[in-house]
Structure 1
Amino acid sequence: MSESFQQNAEVLQARWPEVFSRLLAEDSESLQVELVEGLGSTLRIAGIQLTSRHDRTAEARLQAASLPPESPMLHVYGTGLGDLQQVLLENPELRRLQVHILNGGLFALVLSLLDQTPWLSDPRVELSYAADCREIQLPFFALPSELELADEFNARIRDRLVSEVHLSFNNREFDPQSPQILQRLQDSLELLRSGRDIAELFGSQAGQEVYVIGTGPSLEQHFEKLLAIREQVQRPLFISVDTAYRPLIEHGIKPDLVVSIDKGITARHLPPSDSDSIPLVYMPMSDPEVLVAWKGLRYAGYSASPIYAALRQQIAKAQLYVGGSVLHPAVDLAVKMGAARITLFGADFAFPMNKTHAGWNDGDLGPGVNLARHWVLDGHGQRVKTQLNFRRYLGELERYIAGHPEVRFLNSSRAGAMIAGTAFNLEFVQ
């Protein structure tokens, strides 16, 4: 045991014995570690440089400057080499600094190499594993290197941190003053005025089971069984997202409702030929040509997005929750219809079986599998490829589920992302 580790261990054992016990069990020896030198030095872990190799303190001061200086409490995600913690503690106004470990093995390694006692000993510091808290805490700074290096235990919190960091960037295409958005809303105005309100559907399935069907690759495992269930007299209600509609129809499965919110959805995704008696739930950003061609009833509604602020004042319609994916309003619709139990199909938020979507070719609905650079844990606890926005959608669905404990949520497959708050539907999952 190194001298640095012994010094650090004394503080950890005295202040956070449970955290210290967990750190002792971490596997730091398997990490790919290199010393990187410049004007100073740092570590490179699995090809990711942990901090600046020239001036770690200057980098930490730049990071600290992004946080509100008057805040009495701050959160740091990732432990790094301790530089940011030390800089933040220079502020006498800071009353509490919560440090969240994102990679236990990495922190154990740093403890064996460098003296971390100056910040660990400060009475204002609290230390825990990031995933010990279900939600991210504000205000925070997340060390960029450790957002890449987060381990499996802390991956879900990592995903929520990345989503929060990217929030303003992700919302850039939803500028309420965008000429394209204003034109689309204007084009949809007459349909919106004459259309039905989604509120008419609310409460219509009180206490019932609903299947919410997404387009993840795992949906392909269930076509045959869904067809058999669809033909039963007593069965759950089938709510399909727009991109799952065509694959379902091609397999003889007629959904009871279809939900669409994306301006990019065309007749290719929602062919109208078989749409008789299938209600379509939509929002005003949907393509008016698709809406006009649809043969079933149309129910309009809004999300809480600022792009609908003016319309909400002019034309009263109910709202559905949207968190980036069409699956969110489909789930919210099921809840508002009164579902007591919801089983999710194709809600993979990942690329299991090395595919992007069920019933579509690779790249038809977005980037191909070969472009996937991120991962989530699947229902077996194994890493599965995904893309960054899918991780954000997953986090938003998990938050929604946590906010609706009165509904039982089930997942139909272990192949896709593990969804916190769901159990597996044993009728479909072995």
Structure 2
Amino acid sequence: MNHEAAGGSADERQYIFERNLLSLSRYDPELCSRLTVSESTRGCYKILESRAGIPVPAVVDPSGKSHPLHSIVDPVREGSRLISTLEDEGFLVFLGLGGGYHIEAALGQRNIRHLLIIDYNIHSMTELLASKDYVPIFNDSRVRLMIDPSPETVEQYILDRYKPVLFGGIRVMPLRTRVEFDQQNFAETVEAIKKAVDGVSADYSVQAFFGKRWLSNILRNIHNAEGRQELFPGIKRAAVIAAGPSLEAQLPELHENRKNLFILAADTAIPVLVSAGITPDAAVSIDCQHISYYHFMGGIPRDMPLFLDIASPPLLSSLSGNVRFFSSGHPLARYVSRHWRSLPAIDTSGGNVTYAAVSLADYLGASEIFLYGADFSYPRGKTYARGTYIYPYFDIRQNRFSPEESLFSAFLYRNTSLEKTAAGDSWYYETPTLRMYRERLEAKALRMAARLKSVPGMGAPVRPVRSAPEVPGGNSIHTFAAGPARMSAGEFLDHYREAVLALPPITGEIAGNLSLLPESGLEILLTLLPAGAAMKRRHPDWDTERLFSAVKQETDGIIRRITAPRG
């Protein structure tokens, strides 16, 4: 059998090409414009015919040899076999369009919610689109096509659109022959996807543990955040105080420099400072768990400014008469800022309170930020500075069978990934999480106008590369204040509850194509995703519709309890 087939007449090719462009134009007119001005006669592909009579695109190498992208026996069956290997992956990334037989097989699976196709060389893609009808693929609302994207574009696309709670897993499916002929581009694409998925997965893991608590805390803090706030002035030189073991030896230096610094304490460091006779100028707390209350059990001055993530436990706001709420990255916190009261946005993406405190100091306009107690490790196996909550916590729990030393040891060695590093005549343990925290802070230091200097300690050194501000004149002074409320707290909660209940059932079709929701509905759904992740962790067998029905009921119940008359 002659496996080489003609590509059709010029008129036929133009007709097929225009049909494909019409389908693509629904969601990517800019791509259609690029395709329209590209060439389709460079001979990048030949169309072969399989034994089943089905056209098979083949890459033409420089010697003129054809390399089919699919089986020349039965490409449809081959595509079905490939898709049958999927498990719970609902977000697929196809490297190479080819004849689309593997993609068509995926579209036949209802549990597959989103399909991203990535290919390179717009001229060769124009040839493909003029040789085969891809309309059934492009007409499916779950499909998106990228041609010649940069790695950064691919990474951002995954970060923006891949929501594990909606899609389940993600899988990259390379069309191997196609990938072999453009290894560098596809290798960079795979690396970009991996980087994005690592970030999404880390965030999702946190959401799965804390999503419901975030939802409840934010809603319960609305009334606490309703009061009038005075402007908080900017600052010039700040000391951010973390609670690593090195802080103990650094306290004399902090005492000596006290008058020249605005002392901003991480919540974990408050009891250490207070017991040393140092009253912080302000403190920061971002943990949504009630264990954060332990940091305040020794008391704080009633008028000391306390900067709280709106997702912090509501109890904390009663500990200070000078509470300042801010918005972090939670979608509900952003919704609150857009639709009720604008809250200052502080970067907490580093995942720890030290990072958040540095972000706040930078936001307030500090030109220099000195880090105390920021070990990001366990120097000589010690976890926290003496005076932190963990010492009295273990003190009251010790007994003759479990002395305090064994409790500290168990606390340290609960980590199964400790890595020992020599540091002069000393050493420290590091974990992947602590290393990630440090590296995120180092990366942030390169982006800030403020200079960040870590006071030498016993732990893993923080190494910001830049030693002077890149912004001419240094950082600019900012004030910290919430905007006026657009309505009462009770009215906002009622409006939000009604908007949540008005969401249509989140079916698989909607989950795969969120554009089916109106913009207001999409915004509401995004506020529920972290809580959905937490519920999915407890009920992995629930489908999307049942899961978000439960999240809506949970949200309704929380708000009803908050707004119920007290008597």
**C-alpha distance in structure 1 between counterparts of 2:346 and 2:375, whole Å:** 21
Partner of 2:252: 224
Secondary structure at the counterpart of residue 358 of structure 1: coil
**C-alpha distance in structure 1 between counterparts of 2:182 and 2:295, whole Å:** 54
How has the CA–CA distance of structure 1 residues 221 and 187 changed in structure 2, closer, same or farther, with 3 Å as cutoff?
A: same
Partner of 2:434: 390
How has the CA–CA distance of structure 1 residues 325 and 96 changed in structure 2, closer, same or farther, with 3 Å as cutoff?
A: same
The amino acid of 2:461's aligned partner reads M
> Are 2:421 and 2:430, in contact at CA under 8 Å, matched by a contact in 1?
no
> Are 1:195 and 1:298, in contact at CA under 8 Å, matched by a contact in 2?
no
The amino acid of 2:214's aligned partner reads I
**C-alpha distance in structure 2 between counterparts of 1:393 and 1:274, whole Å:** 27
**C-alpha distance in structure 1 between counterparts of 2:239 and 2:348, whole Å:** 18
Cα distance per residue 1:203-254 (max 9 Å; x no partner): x21xx22100111111111122223333xxx411100000100111111111
Q: CA RMSD in A?
A: 3.9
Partner of 2:267: 242
**C-alpha distance in structure 2 between counterparts of 1:329 and 1:366, whole Å:** 28
> Are 2:214 and 2:288, in contact at CA under 8 Å, matched by a contact in 1?
no
**C-alpha distance in structure 1 between counterparts of 2:284 and 2:94, whole Å:** 41
Task: Tell me the percent identity.
Answer: 20
Partner of 1:170: 206
Counting only pairs closer than 5 Å after superposition, residues 347-362 of structure 1 correspond to structure 2 as 347-359=374-386, 360=388, 361=390
How has the CA–CA distance of structure 1 residues 270 and 88 changed in structure 2, closer, same or farther, with 3 Å as cutoff?
A: farther
Secondary structure at the counterpart of residue 139 of structure 1: helix
Secondary structure at the counterpart of residue 428 of structure 2: strand
Secondary structure at the counterpart of residue 222 of structure 1: helix
Task: Find out whether 1:413 has 2:456 as its counterpart.
Answer: yes
Q: By how many angstroms is 1:174 displaced?
A: 4.8
> Are 2:380 and 2:429, in contact at CA under 8 Å, matched by a contact in 1?
no
Secondary structure at the counterpart of residue 346 of structure 2: coil
Q: By how many angstroms is 1:68 displaced?
A: 4.6
Partner residue of 1:196 out of 226, 229, 232 = 229
Partner residue of 1:401 out of 433, 440, 445 = 445
**C-alpha distance in structure 2 between counterparts of 1:168 and 1:381, whole Å:** 40
The amino acid of 1:342's aligned partner reads I
Partner residue of 2:309 out of 275, 279, 283 = 283
How has the CA–CA distance of structure 1 residues 165 and 379 changed in structure 2, closer, same or farther, with 3 Å as cutoff?
A: farther
The amino acid of 1:415's aligned partner reads M
> Are 2:285 and 2:308, in contact at CA under 8 Å, matched by a contact in 1?
yes
The amino acid of 1:194's aligned partner reads G
Partner of 2:184: 96
> Are 2:327 and 2:334, in contact at CA under 8 Å, matched by a contact in 1?
no
> Are 2:215 and 2:311, in contact at CA under 8 Å, matched by a contact in 1?
no
Q: By how many angstroms is 1:196 displaced?
A: 2.6
> Are 1:67 and 1:141, in contact at CA under 8 Å, matched by a contact in 2?
no
Task: Find out whether 1:329 has 2:317 as its counterpart.
Answer: no
> Are 1:300 and 1:317, in contact at CA under 8 Å, matched by a contact in 2?
yes
**C-alpha distance in structure 1 between counterparts of 2:364 and 2:184, whole Å:** 44
**C-alpha distance in structure 2 between counterparts of 1:338 and 1:195, whole Å:** 23
Partner residue of 1:346 out of 343, 348, 373 = 373
> Are 1:374 and 1:387, in contact at CA under 8 Å, matched by a contact in 2?
yes
Partner residue of 1:311 out of 336, 359, 371 = 336
Cα distance per residue 1:139-177 (max 9 Å; x no partner): 2559xxxxxxxxxxxxxxxxx9966663432333354xx
How has the CA–CA distance of structure 1 residues 422 and 277 changed in structure 2, closer, same or farther, with 3 Å as cutoff?
A: farther
> Are 2:218 and 2:311, in contact at CA under 8 Å, matched by a contact in 1?
yes
Cα distance per residue 1:347-377 (max 9 Å; x no partner): 1111112111112447979982223314486
The amino acid of 1:286's aligned partner reads S
**C-alpha distance in structure 2 between counterparts of 1:194 and 1:162, whole Å:** 40
Partner of 1:139: 192
> Are 2:379 and 2:427, in contact at CA under 8 Å, matched by a contact in 1?
no
Q: Which runs of 5+ in 1 are unaligned?
A: 1-57, 76-85, 100-125, 127-135, 143-159, 425-430
Greater C-alpha Rg: 2
Secondary structure at the counterpart of residue 220 of structure 1: helix
Secondary structure at the counterpart of residue 193 of structure 1: coil
> Are 2:373 and 2:457, in contact at CA under 8 Å, matched by a contact in 1?
no
Secondary structure at the counterpart of residue 246 of structure 2: helix
Task: Find out whether 1:368 has 2:411 as its counterpart.
Answer: yes
TM-score, normalised to structure 2, is: 0.44
How has the CA–CA distance of structure 1 residues 317 and 226 changed in structure 2, closer, same or farther, with 3 Å as cutoff?
A: same
**C-alpha distance in structure 2 between counterparts of 1:250 and 1:95, whole Å:** 60
Aligned residue pairs total 289
Partner of 1:215: 243
Secondary structure at the counterpart of residue 342 of structure 2: coil
The amino acid of 1:212's aligned partner reads V
How has the CA–CA distance of structure 1 residues 388 and 298 changed in structure 2, closer, same or farther, with 3 Å as cutoff?
A: same
Q: By how many angstroms is 1:318 displaced?
A: 0.9
> Are 1:409 and 1:422, in contact at CA under 8 Å, matched by a contact in 2?
no
> Are 2:371 and 2:453, in contact at CA under 8 Å, matched by a contact in 1?
yes
> Are 1:376 and 1:386, in contact at CA under 8 Å, matched by a contact in 2?
yes
The amino acid of 1:411's aligned partner reads S
The amino acid of 1:419's aligned partner reads V
